[in-house]
Structure 1
Amino acid sequence: MSRLHARLLHFAQTTIQPSLTSQIRTMSSYTSVHVGKPDTLDYKVYIRDASGKVISSVHDIPLKPEGVTDKHVFNMVVEVPRWSNAKLEMSSKFPFNPIVQDTKKGKLRYVRNLFPYKGYIHNYGAIPQTWEDPTFVDPNTSCNGDGDPIDVCEIGEQVGYIGQVKQVKVLGLVALIDEGETDWKVLAIDVTDPLAEKLNNLADVEEHLPGLIAATRHWFRDYKRPDGKPSNEFAFNGEAKEADFSLEVIEHCHKAWKEGLLTGTNPKANYDNTNSTLEGSKGFNPAEADKLATDGVVYTHSEPVGDDKWYYYKN
């Protein structure tokens, strides 16, 4: 078995123990390197691994944290911190898929402040090594995939930062239909969050964070309306689906990444597949990584000044 196949098949299914949260915190040894000035076309955020090597945010970061066997725990790359407005995403065009700001007709894109919210209402990002295949018509939604890694809405209390690699517990998802494409939105919580051990399903989310699921539907339904676009629609009449259903969707998207995107064999494979660690894959080119992000600023996260957490109360 090749090293690549061994990494891709290294998954088990047991339940995470509370003591693992400290181990996961230690294992999150990625750093983000910011190149260029924010809010410009030149801005890029690369991710380095523990050795200091630039890696692909889409391809090199494993689907699941190494050594963690809980079937509900995955890696997540934070693209957009909560409360911010710049529409940032892992680039499909640049080698190693740095996080860049999306553009339309040459102009940087931002989401509007949709009352009563400020910017994005979650720590928003994606699960690496996944891909929503645009050639696949999902039987649950009757729509093709949107051609991106599967999106994650992390609902913990701490605001994340661009390029942060979180380990999150999957709790459910909603099936957004965005301009006629399937655009899954996974609901998850950082495993080190104070509420992580109490949240295991959608009922737990509603109990401890009342109104959050409804607010998620509202925000994704209408966030484009300030730009003059119609409301988005949802499959399942907007009903959020539970964690086990979510795992099936994630596994399907992981297979699509492995067999179609990473190999470049899918006719609509749209992400540069250059990577540093997947020896034997088409895009394996660690030497190319040595040329990147050498003049960037390594981001060091610090606790925010003041209170930027959120609070939930039942009437």
Structure 2
Amino acid sequence: MSYHNIPIGKKAPEILNAVIEIPKGSHNKYEFDEELEVMKLDRVLHSPFFYATDYGFIPETRAKDGDHLDAMILTDSPVFCGCMMEIRPIGLFKMIDGGEEDHKILAVPHKNPHYKNIDDIKDIEPHVLKEIEHFFDQYKKLEDKTVQVLGWESKEKAIEMIKETMQAYKK
């Protein structure tokens, strides 16, 4: 099955499908190559950092950078590159990467009982959010690339972003 054929999910934007590109704990940045329809190694991080969440994209969305909307999924243990999972958005992480808006949805696995009581970003320990901010603030510094972290927004703002990117995909 092609990743192009994966739907956003019947209960979007409250419950979404996400395709994991980068497992939690990885130093490797994998990306879905839309032309070749494969996951490929984009690069190895230049700094001694690792991804604090599973990281991927939400199908049938189009963000302002031209890619699918990014998603960071809080998990107990990493899943594999290419895995699809149902997620529930709980917040929005706002940042600028290389001068372009590159916001990301923060989500939890829909079918993991450890996250059943997490409904909004306010339910997450502040230190977890600081770790994610720190990663994105620092991970490209040794590449001499500029990233500007703008902070966190609520689940409501995340849902708005998802709806916007769903509409952009349809155009």
TM-score by length of 2: 0.92
Aligned to 1:224: 140
Residues 196 and 226 from structure 1, CA distance in 2 versus in 1: closer, same or farther, beyond 3 angstroms? same
Shift in Å at residue 257 of structure 1?
1.2
Shift in Å at residue 62 of structure 1?
0.8
Aligned to 2:62: 131
Shift in Å at residue 195 of structure 1?
2.4
Q: Unpaired runs of 5+ in structure 2? A: none
What amino acid sits opposite 2:155 in the alignment? Answer: A
8 Å Cα contact 1:169-1:196 kept in structure 2: no
Cα distance in 2, alignment partners of residues 254 and 60 from structure 1: 15
Cα distance in 1, alignment partners of residues 12 and 96 from structure 2: 29
Shift in Å at residue 113 of structure 1?
4.3
Aligned to 1:262: none
Cα distance in 2, alignment partners of residues 79 and 170 from structure 1: 17
Percent identical: 27
**Based on CA coordinates, which of the two structures has the bigger radius of gyration?**
1
User: Which residue, out of 114, 120, 128, partners 1:212?
Assistant: 128
The answer to which structure, 1 or 2, has the higher relative contact order (CA under 8 A, 6+ apart) is: 2
Cα distance in 2, alignment partners of residues 99 and 198 from structure 1: 33
8 Å Cα contact 1:157-1:193 kept in structure 2: no
Cα distance in 2, alignment partners of residues 195 and 70 from structure 1: 22
CA RMSD of aligned residues (A): 1.6
User: Which residue, out of 72, 77, 88, partners 1:169?
Assistant: 88
Per-residue deviation, residues 33-77 of structure 1 (Å, max 9, x unmatched)? xxxxxxxxxxxxxxxxxxxxx22x2x311111x4xx374210000
1:101 aligns with 2:101: no
Q: Unpaired runs of 5+ in structure 1? A: 1-53, 103-108, 133-144, 260-315
Aligned to 2:148: 233
User: Which residue, out of 67, 77, 97, partners 1:178?
Assistant: 97
8 Å Cα contact 1:88-1:100 kept in structure 2: yes
Mapping for residues 17-96 of structure 1, pairs under 5 Å: 54-55=1-2, 57=3, 59-64=4-9, 66=10, 69=11, 71-94=13-36
User: Which residue, out of 100, 108, 116, partners 1:197?
Assistant: 116
Question: Number of aligned pairs?
Answer: 171
8 Å Cα contact 1:112-1:119 kept in structure 2: no
What amino acid sits opposite 1:225 in the alignment? Answer: K
Aligned to 2:46: 112
8 Å Cα contact 1:111-1:120 kept in structure 2: no
